[in-house]
Chain A
């Protein structure tokens, strides 16, 4: 096929035009749907429809009949959204479609779903995390309390749901022994108050702890993103590279979510006053951050769940650099202020004449 043939060129031009128009149409359709559902769920409209008698111009019966299910759906959706935004953890019912009944549970296929919504730094919400809980069969020994166990969940693997379940929802992991062992335990008088406490399930505490760890993880990722923004980031293929920095290692962008490809593209730090050429979490859970400096020193620090730098090590050819380590862990210890502390340390070093020899 001759690419220079004018007819082919015209054809290709038309093809690309058609596809771009189609894309535009799809975009506009999506936009229309978005806007229409926004209008439907808006407060003023909802109010009007909730009092049909006071809106006589819309109370034409057939119109109202047609429109009301949509409006009602939009209203309930908006309400559940408000709950999700406000309370972060919400519950919902779910029915397991599996036809096989489970002996350990109470025989119903109804599950209790808990949904955890977390707002991250860019103002968006992550994909919700879910816990699906199954009610255990009501035996005599649990005094009529409802007991649950985790049936399925979508919590990332580095948050030990199993162990949390064991601590907060006891009596679920030792399911095999529970059938016969439960009666004997009941016969014994409770020796310590502790035993009685561990026997009791704490569903709120369980979900609170799971959520706390999820939030802590997202906060750690946000902190690294924040540090990147402070230093300045060049995205491969997106930003123009300034000429003066030819070589610096490209690294994969930090994920915003558990999907390993959710970190888009490769990034590189801009040349900066801190002398940092790389700053990235060592693993997905982002509790350890690795820092590489221009002069070959390598550092690593640990972020605690409360956002403090717990420990730090900076090591170079000449051994550990205690000044930088102290800077990382010093002050208010907050990870967000690490850079300003580093800056202070570097200024201190420059003014110190003995360190000038190294430059």
Chain B
């Protein structure tokens, strides 16, 4: 039924937008069911919009005559509508009526798009889900760097720094890159809420289009990967496959043969910088040790704004909360940071969300250390919290160390922070400023700390406020100052190359 009459020869073109997945495919129900009823209806209206409807034509009565025998007309729960407007009205009616989303899905699959859901529609569903649930994936930030630019750059091309993505050119080049290996479907879309452009890539395992491909493979979410291009900065974000998130650093040994979904994704990821490259201006991707669920966190720490290189203590500068504009006559220590922050920002985000985050992340801290039961810096000092003066001092210290990070003013929730401490845990790291005390003990145990929760930095801040973490003596990486989610720490300082 979904087969078109044209002949499909093996080709290296990308999967067409209008390739239809039979609507009887059971996994389609699941794919559509991810969305809420309202989102589904919004999407349907988008499909039925005058400008789009030629890409997603619904099944009308006129189609019925040549495709189906009239016998099973009575079996169909949703008779085909006569005109496009009737279809629109039917969904308008659903919009006004309360009900489950199941009836909308049924109407889409059994009624108006019974001839199949196109790949593009499916891609739109996925992107919509991404917009509705911005932390549904784990994202890794990668930096685009020029290859072959020697360090003695001339003064002339200092301003040329980031690749510009021209959608159709980029997709054509990307297609050229991967077409010998895999077949893919691309969908490029602008995020409605964040300054990002999403690229959804769906890959199949063969460079040829096999007409007998099982329809299930076309809806397999493991074969989908996302690349997000933030505006005006030399970073891109890629979504991790759910399986690789657990194993972390070593996917490279997995397979040289590109048959599994992960291998396919790697092919695509390798092709992205090549597709962005221009003649005499080649790019490569470099890891930046930042992986997080929240796209907002990535945008804050690897985005186009001020906060890339100023996290933790220095977040007061990124948010410019320490002083206002030079036209402000009020001395800056009499103005609250919130007011400074609001100056150029008319819509301040509500504080409720972050307060909730703080509470929930408070207790979520786990340390998987094998050598010592607890980091000396994390030692509990319960009796400390009783003295009001000490509490005030501690509050001051927390404010200096953390700046605004972990509060409602900055929005960079890291859901996971891995730190490997190369220092010996025995002498407290503070006292071995004279570098040779640690050389004495022969064994070099390393300590791995993993913090996880909704917002790790806010959690550590809360611990510091409670006096469990000593705010004055804790190392800088605990304040999120390095803006990474995976670090290697040596002598209290973050070692840059974490390899």
Contact = CB atoms under 8 A, between A and B. Distances in A.
A25 B133 CA distance: 39
Interface string B467-499: 000001111100001000000000111000000
B151 to A, nearest CB: 6
Most buried by A among B327, B347, B433: B327
Nearest to B496: A176
Interface in A88-121: 96-102, 113, 117
Nearest to A285: B232
Contacts of B153: 163, 166-167
A155 B401 CA distance: 21
B304 A284 contact: yes
Contact of A261 (B325, B328, B347): B347
Contact of A284 (B231, B329, B472, B493): B231
B159 A157 contact: no
Given A37-B334, A98-B476, A130-B317, A283 B491 contact: no
B238 to A, nearest CB: 18
B331 A77 contact: yes
Contacts of A74: 329, 331
Contact of A257 (B310, B344, B401, B491): B344
B306 A258 contact: yes
B497 to A, nearest CB: 10
Contact of B309 (A40, A125, A153): A153
A97 B400 contact: yes
B159 A34 contact: no
A143 interface: no
Give the dominant DSSP class at A's interface. Answer: loop
Interface residues of B, number: 61
A236 to B, nearest CB: 15
Interface in B302-338: 303-310, 313-314, 317-318, 320, 323, 325-334
Given A96-B313, A129-B306, A259-B345, A77 B332 contact: yes
B231 A198 contact: no
A297 interface: no
Contacts of A152: 309-310, 314, 317
B162 interface: yes
Contacts of B234: 157
Contacts of B326: 81-82, 84-85, 117, 125
A152 B151 CA distance: 21
A125 B327 contact: yes
Most buried by A among B195, B306, B333, B473: B306
A130 B403 CA distance: 15
A167 B158 contact: yes
Interface string B391-408: 000000100110000000
A81 B328 contact: yes
A100 B475 contact: yes
Contacts of A285: 232, 304
Contacts of B164: 282-283, 288
Interface in A252-270: 256-262, 264
Contacts of A262: 344-345
Interface string A30-56: 000110011011000000000000000
B487 to A, nearest CB: 13
A166 B151 contact: yes
B394 to A, nearest CB: 13
A97 B481 CA distance: 11
8 contacts: A99-B473, A117-B325, A124-B327, A126-B344, A152-B309, A153-B310, A154-B320, A158-B232
Which 8 pairs show the lowest CB-CB distances between chains A and B?
A100-B492, A127-B320, A157-B233, A284-B232, A154-B306, A84-B326, A260-B195, A125-B325
Interface of B: 151-153, 155, 158-159, 161-162, 164, 194-195, 231-235, 299, 303-310, 313-314, 317-318, 320, 323, 325-334, 343-347, 397, 400-401, 429-430, 433, 472-476, 481, 491-493
Given A41-B329, A100-B492, A126-B344, 17 more contacts: A33-B334, A77-B331, A84-B326, A99-B473, A100-B491, A124-B327, A124-B344, A132-B317, A154-B317, A156-B305, A158-B233, A160-B159, A166-B151, A213-B159, A260-B299, A260-B304, A283-B232
